[in-house]
A and B are shown apart, each in its own frame.
Chain A
């Protein structure tokens, strides 16, 4: 029993951070929301070069996948990453570098970036179908470009693990987004002054941030365990806990930042809205709690 990331996994995480920190992911996310996909596709190719797209197909483990998606969530990287890097391998379909959009009703009712995806898969009745992008919908997270699916021909059989992979990768993104919200809020609380001193010296602020770090720290091991066991109960526990922790981090982050956090100019909003969207897809908290008690 050794319940900690390996040195290689920590290095992989750090390498992703190095790349994403200099890539201006926030600008790419905003451009993506405005249908300017250029900067986002540059990230797509850059991360692909780091091995992210075929991580599972090239011998990586689900723990490696979780490590990677934590960083994607932290940096709010736009695009159908869950579908392409986590779900396709569970269906034994290689992406070949292409974008994939996956719909899995009722948990994933809309196709993310379906208009620009090369593979559009609708998983229903234990089968894999094609779909065409229909009506476009506006997500609470503007960087999530959503389309109603128009079902097409059945092209294969579904695999139960597809949902577990999607839920796990989504949970990892939630945790990563929560980490960014906490780190940014702590940094801001150390520098922002009100009534003559740093707001981080007030107990009311300290206690919000202490509760947030506690929730995040306790959600992380659930995520790693779910990646090891891939059991429905562990995946569901991870999705619920990561969603709760990230939601707390989002509300805390907004409260600590005040009005600046409520502006579209600040990166906080990118994560706050993404967290809200991700809490609801790949299984709602109510659905996952039901699986925990099943």
Chain B
């Protein structure tokens, strides 16, 4: 057992740190039209330095970086205060799905544009009657020549107000129930029959949208995996969303370090314990992820432990931000990094399957407790 990083990783860390120190900019929220455009430019700049998708194969714009190198990249990225990733749904949810289930043609067509954020992706999972309960989806896909016609409604679709494309599940076999008969589609949000209605989030910006589909044609080439097997395909994505990739430890470590610095300005003894626990939690999550990385490198797959991750980071993120707001006192209500981060953190225990769903998954699949009424 060791925590020693290889020389090549240390060199990579230094390169990333130097590049970020020269290039990092502060951008407006990507949930505004102006911010979205500026984030695309930032992503293109990252891609020019081959730093937008370091863990991907070189042919798609990456560097074939190891899992550990990617974790180190993330630590440096967030420690430098670099902008949030506007294409995170694509990079951390769709891309892993394409690597696992996509055809070579799909990978070659989609991934390079995603790496530069020439195409920004929205996720289209939830429906008005199906939030965490994805198996209750009602939107339909009907077979037609050379493809499918999608109809129905998706909601709370992150980034969809300004995104180019979306991915999600539709019911392709009305005779099947629940998890069966779902198919995984990639959809052009500019296609005929798609209507996008932006929904303002708590900060007033259109971070969400409702998507209405009226017989939207999607060609066969935009189906991922076998028709009807969408649930299994989606689970790859879900484990990535809950687990390693979307919430790498880098951002929590950076937040914890900022919190410790904020506390150091006053050294308020009443909040010392909470600040210490925040740092301990972020360090624990970093080390836990090193353990996961070791297992993945040795051939294991991400399973229900993703739900352990999600339970942990979602609560850590909320509590770190709540502690920061208490330290700021009455000034905490004035818009800025900490209140903005707090609003963002509140979504963590909801999306990707609520924390209550995660607890059920942990209890049933990790601990083997019997299923029961919900």
Contact = CB atoms under 8 A, between A and B. Distances in A.
Interface string B331-362: 00000000000000000000000001011101
A219 B288 CA distance: 9
Nearest to A201: B372
B38 interface: no
A200 B369 contact: yes
B360 A203 contact: yes
Interface in A237-251: 237, 240-241
A228 interface: yes
Chain B binding surface SS class? helix
Contact of A222 (B284, B360, B367, B374): B284
16 contacts: A3-B291, A186-B368, A198-B370, A206-B363, A206-B369, A207-B356, A210-B358, A210-B359, A210-B360, A214-B308, A214-B362, A221-B288, A222-B284, A224-B287, A289-B272, A293-B263
A194 B46 CA distance: 58
A222 B287 contact: yes
Contacts of A128: none
Nearest to A245: B284
A4 B295 contact: yes
User: Counting chain B CB atoms within 10 Å of each CB, which of A4, A210, A229, A240 scores highest?
Assistant: A210
Interface of B: 1-6, 9, 68, 260, 263, 272-273, 275-277, 279-281, 283-285, 287-288, 290-291, 293-295, 298, 305, 308, 311-312, 356, 358-360, 362-364, 366-374
A293 B280 CA distance: 10
Contact of A190 (B275, B284, B295, B370): B370
A293 B272 contact: yes
Given A240-B277, A289-B272, A3 B312 contact: no
Given A206-B369, A221-B284, 13 more contacts: A1-B2, A198-B369, A198-B370, A201-B370, A202-B372, A206-B363, A207-B359, A209-B367, A211-B359, A213-B362, A221-B291, A289-B277, A290-B272
5 closest A-B pairs by beta carbon, nearest first, are: A201-B372, A206-B363, A221-B287, A289-B276, A210-B359
A197 B372 contact: yes
Interface in A177-228: 186, 189-190, 197-198, 200-203, 205-207, 209-211, 213-214, 217-219, 221-222, 224-225, 228
A63 interface: yes
Contacts of A286: 273
B214 to A, nearest CB: 39
Interface of A: 1-6, 9, 63, 186, 189-190, 197-198, 200-203, 205-207, 209-211, 213-214, 217-219, 221-222, 224-225, 228-229, 234, 237, 240-241, 285-286, 289-290, 292-293
Given A228-B1, A292-B276, A190 B294 contact: no
Contact of A206 (B285, B305, B360): B360
Contacts of B360: 203, 206-207, 210
B287 A292 contact: no
A201 B369 contact: yes
Given A189-B369, A201-B372, A1 B285 contact: no
A293 B279 contact: yes
B285 to A, nearest CB: 7
A217 B280 CA distance: 14
Contacts of B287: 3, 221-222, 224-225
A147 to B, nearest CB: 32
A225 B311 contact: no
A224 B1 contact: yes
A290 B277 CA distance: 10
Contacts of A290: 272, 276
A206 B290 CA distance: 27
A11 B231 CA distance: 39
A244 B66 CA distance: 34
Contacts of A293: 260, 263, 272, 275-276, 279
A211 B314 CA distance: 13
Contact of A237 (B275, B283, B305): B283
B202 to A, nearest CB: 26
A221 B369 CA distance: 25
